Amino acid sequence: MAEQGNSRQVTSNQLGVHDQLLQVVEKHRQSLFKKPITTFNREAFEEAEAAWQAFGGRLILDSCCGVGASTRKLASRYPEHFVIGVDRSEDRLSRKLGELPANAVLIRADLVDFWRLAEAAGWKPEYHFLLYPNPTPKKKDLKQRWHGHPVFPSLVALGGQLESRSNWRIYLEEMQLALKVFGVEAEITALDMDEPITPFERKYHLSGQDLWQLKANLNELATG
């Protein structure tokens, strides 16, 4: 019998791009995000930076990496790169999925601090993956989505080839418009299922849900 999934579709009282999206993104683009950075996140960043320097190579960020399955697969796909998987959940990161490749590290940290530290340190990842972030689909929760959060300008400033995936197309449509505020064009396409890169991708696909991906060259900021 073929394997099946049982994941429910995203439901929301928001049926299209949030009507306050552009206003919120523009406000954050023009404002300095002053939230203090915690000692824990600063130490986590230093651990990540030391691991990267020890290995060398070009950098890949796997933000919201969950249990680290995507980090492992990206490290295998790009053996000459160093992949840093970041997630704030100790429970997810502690799950045993096998040995971590030499060109990868898993870091427990809050990305709200981690991205700002990376920006301040001048990090320029070649690729930045943001795979299946929590879409927080209730209309009132726009500012909990990454593109609606005050830290979004730091994500954009890091540059690189950004790829985000979701089973809620509206999430990616919002990110596409948010990037346009910064002068970056993004493309959204249906995701052709080959080998699932995250457990979320696998379960949503097995549940018969449509999956979408957004790709954008954040280096356009520096050249265009």
CATH number of the domain encompassing residue 209 = 3.40.50.150
Mean pLDDT over residues 15-30, rounded? 97
Mean pLDDT over residues 16-34, rounded? 97
Q: What are the tens digits of pLDDT across the range 100-124?
A: 999 999 999 999 999 999 999 999 9
Residue at 45 is within a domain: yes
Residue at 16 is within a domain: no
Residue at 126 is within a domain: yes
Residue at 4 is within a domain: no
Residue at 166 is within a domain: yes
Residue at 65 is within a domain: yes
Q: What are the tens digits of pLDDT across the range 132-145?
A: 999 999 999 999 99
Query: What is the biggest distance separating any 2 CA atoms in the chain, rounded to whole angstroms?
Result: 55
Residue at 118 is within a domain: yes
Residue at 109 is within a domain: yes
Q: What are the tens digits of pLDDT across the range 160-208?
A: 999 999 999 999 999 999 999 999 999 999 998 777 899 999 999 899 9
Give per-residue burial for 184-213: e unless 16+ CB within 10 Å, then b: bebebeebeeeebbbbbbbbbbbeebebbb
**Domain that includes residue 147, residue range:** 21-29+38-223
Number of domains in the chain: 1
Q: What are the tens digits of pLDDT across the range 2-13?
A: 455 667 888 889
